[in-house]
Structure 1
Amino acid sequence: MLVYAPAALLFLVFSWRALRERRRFGNAVLLGLAVLCALVAWMFRLIRSGSTSALFTAYSLLAVCALGILVLTYLLFVNGLRMVRKEGRSPANLLSLMAALSILGVIALLVTAAVVRTPLLVGIGAAALGLSSYVSFLFLSFVCYAFLYGRLQVRRKADFVVVLGSGLIGGSKVPPLLAGRLDRAREVHSRLTRRGASPVLITSGGQGPDEELPESHAMADYLIERGFPADLIEREDRSTSTEENLRFSKAIMETAKPGYRCVVVTNNYHAFRAALTARQAGVRGQVVGAPTAAYFWPNATLREFVAVLVAYRRTNIAIGLLFVLGGVLVWAAR
């Protein structure tokens, strides 16, 4: 059982860190490492046992993983085409398609390197395999921990509910994506009220160059039209990004109640990255997500993941260069 010790230790460290502060990307990495170590240990025991059934199980698992990569590539490709049809050809909407093409490119490169076996191709293939494995590990860790974070219970008491803006249709109309956030915020507010709290709801969003009014005002009007008390709404109408949403809302909350607690509402694909940003901004509260259209979720999740990679770019560039160096060493050794 000692073979599972690294996985158990990593899981204990993950649990301790998550209890102290849930809003850390390091939590996702630790959880991913714990699961990876457990899987490697299990595979090691299966192969080492030498029994026919154990070997069959081990190789079947590897086959399922390979098939899963192909299925994922197909689904990303289909989703990418659907995003282009529904949302247009902007770079942000092409992420699913680019991810599918990247996976196919890496597979083609590895197959070519294995067949041709020239030193240069083998070195490039080794570097590509290392980089793709690293990015895949981070992505799976991000998705799994984001899923867990989104299932956390809302605190029993909060002084504020903050809704993050996301743009208006036609310069004045709340789009379905933002309407989902506002409906989720009403639900959270109602739940907190039933528990004895009386939180203020902050609509957060400034006025874009193509908008007739600040997003926060359109959001407040949407809520009031649906029966939400106007006296419980505070408008934050200066922000132009998620970071400013949180920073300016924080200033409002600290002025009203220095020891505040809050719940921040956004969409489910955005909740974990918003939580990371909230921690960096010093916002005391939890982030919850509203449902998102199924076709929109894969591309939006990829966009959030890329944003997290950029936020930790120094670490990721350093690790990426190590894989490139490894590829150079493989090329030199051949």
Structure 2
Amino acid sequence: MFAFAVSAFFLLLFGAGVLRDRRRFANAVHLGLAVTFLGLGLLAAVEDLPSGLVESLLVLILLVLGLGPVVLAVLLCVNGVKMVRREGRRPANLLSLLAGLGILGTFGLTAVAVLTRSRVLGVVAVTLLLVLGYVSFLFVCFVGYAFLYGRMRLRRDAGFVVVLGSGLIGGRRVPPLLASRLDRGREVYERLAARGTDVPLLVTSGGQGPDEELPESHAMADYLVERGFPEDRIRREDRSRSTEENLRFSKELMDAERPGAGCVVVTNDFHAFRAALMARKAGVDGQVVGSPTAAYYWPSATIREFAAVFLEYRVVNLTVCAGLVALGCLGLAVTG
């Protein structure tokens, strides 16, 4: 009963947080804690079921907890190899492979500690499992809430649709990833335009990189105009070199054109929730929506986004991790 009460408490915090501002990582944590305590409450209630059913459920839970992480690690390794083959060996493309190898390495070390009955290895393995458990909990919270955020109803009062840039091919051509954002941005624009009398403006946001022949925003605008989009409804933000600058400079443009108007920001689905967190920090009154991404690209991209959010709250997260490591060292000292 206690677990259900705690779950209800965190669920109330989650609901209040969403009503206050959807773009808060605390919403993800509150939802994760609500689900966790709900699961603990349901697990405690299992003992009231018939004995045969209880045993079956416990076996199922043990299989999921035991084999689930191993299966996930193998899938991440397979995905990592595919990423390297299709996208090259850039560090960002190695994330799913490294995550999979890290999980397998942690479980391998745990198995060696059990087999050798090594006190030192045992404490190290437990410490790693605690840190992995904490990071995994936050990652599940991030992915779960990002999924929900991406399916929230589109706001009705947006005066702008802002499409974030992502680089050009050959210095001037729009790549498929960016084309997906632009197509999604046009779809959002048309939906907003059909709702009310105040037709929005579409902002293409992206400056010129050192290997690009023109600013990304100009290539993005050309892509839309070539496909029949009205050029007079486009505004170009051509100074930005990062997502933070995309949002900040686009806000300046929007404030100058239509002070106080809200917006819908368009990026890829794996980037939407982090972009929403950044928009909130930049003071942008905007909802962020995502465009589809190739399935093989999603795991590494999502891990990269989570890592950036994790480090954004580095003081809290690294303090917790350091505390878990200190707890492991204390355990080693006590058992020694």
Same fold, TM exceeding 0.5? Answer: yes
Aligned-residue offset at 1:292? 0.4
CA distance in 1, matches of 2:182, 2:3: 49
1:319 partnered with 2:334: no
1:148 partnered with 2:132: no
Aligned-residue offset at 1:75? 1.2
Deviations 1:241-300 (A, max 9, x none): 000000000011111222111000000000000000000000001000000011111111
**Contact 1:206–1:237 (CA under 8 A) maintained in structure 2:** yes
Partner of 1:241: 242
Unpaired runs of 5+ in structure 1? none
**Contact 1:208–1:240 (CA under 8 A) maintained in structure 2:** yes
Q: Which amino acid aligns with 2:203?
A: I
Aligned-residue offset at 1:173? 0.2
CA distance in 1, matches of 2:216, 2:136: 36
Partner of 1:41: 41
* Structure-to-structure mapping, 1:124-135, within 5 angstroms: 124-135=124-135
Q: Which amino acid aligns with 1:270?
A: H
Q: Which amino acid aligns with 1:106?
A: T
Aligned-residue offset at 1:40? 1.4
**Contact 1:123–1:331 (CA under 8 A) maintained in structure 2:** yes
* Structure-to-structure mapping, 1:252-331, within 5 angstroms: 252-331=253-332
Q: Which amino acid aligns with 1:22?
A: R
SS in 2 for 1:163: strand
Mean Cα deviation higher: 113-122 or 30-39: 113-122
* Structure-to-structure mapping, 1:44-193, within 5 angstroms: 44-47=44-47, 51-193=51-193
CA distance in 1, matches of 2:128, 2:115: 16
CA distance in 2, matches of 1:118, 1:79: 34
CA distance in 2, matches of 1:135, 1:59: 26
Partner of 2:217: 216
**Contact 1:127–1:324 (CA under 8 A) maintained in structure 2:** yes
CA distance in 2, matches of 1:301, 1:62: 27
SS in 2 for 1:172: coil
CA distance in 1, matches of 2:68, 2:189: 40
CA RMSD of aligned residues (A): 1.2
**Contact 1:264–1:286 (CA under 8 A) maintained in structure 2:** yes
Mean Cα deviation higher: 218-227 or 305-314: 305-314
Identity %: 58
CA distance in 2, matches of 1:43, 1:332: 34
CA distance in 2, matches of 1:221, 1:280: 31
TM-score normalised by structure 1 residue count: 0.97
**Contact 2:171–2:212 (CA under 8 A) maintained in structure 1:** yes
Partner of 1:230: 231
**Which runs of 4 or more aligned residues in structure 1 lie more than 4 Å from their structure 2 counterparts after TM superposition?**
47-50
The alpha-carbon distance between structure 1 residues 248 and 187, as it changes in their structure 2 partners (threshold 3 A), is same
**Contact 1:123–1:329 (CA under 8 A) maintained in structure 2:** no
Q: Which amino acid aligns with 2:245?
A: E
Partner of 2:30: 30
Aligned-residue offset at 1:2? 4.0
Corresponding pairs, count: 334
**Contact 1:182–1:223 (CA under 8 A) maintained in structure 2:** yes
Mean Cα deviation higher: 230-239 or 60-69: 60-69
CA distance in 1, matches of 2:190, 2:35: 37
Mean Cα deviation higher: 294-303 or 52-61: 52-61
CA distance in 2, matches of 1:199, 1:38: 43
Aligned-residue offset at 1:42? 1.3
TM-score normalised by structure 2 residue count: 0.97
Deviations 1:203-252 (A, max 9, x none): 00000000000000000000000000000000000000000000000011
Q: Which amino acid aligns with 2:80?
A: G
Mean Cα deviation higher: 52-61 or 171-180: 52-61
The alpha-carbon distance between structure 1 residues 49 and 69, as it changes in their structure 2 partners (threshold 3 A), is same
Partner of 1:20: 20
**Contact 1:4–1:37 (CA under 8 A) maintained in structure 2:** yes
CA distance in 2, matches of 1:85, 1:107: 27
**Contact 2:3–2:40 (CA under 8 A) maintained in structure 1:** no
Unpaired runs of 5+ in structure 2? none
Deviations 1:70-108 (A, max 9, x none): 221121111100000000011100001001100000101
**Contact 1:159–1:199 (CA under 8 A) maintained in structure 2:** yes
Q: Which amino acid aligns with 2:71?
A: V
SS in 2 for 1:295: helix
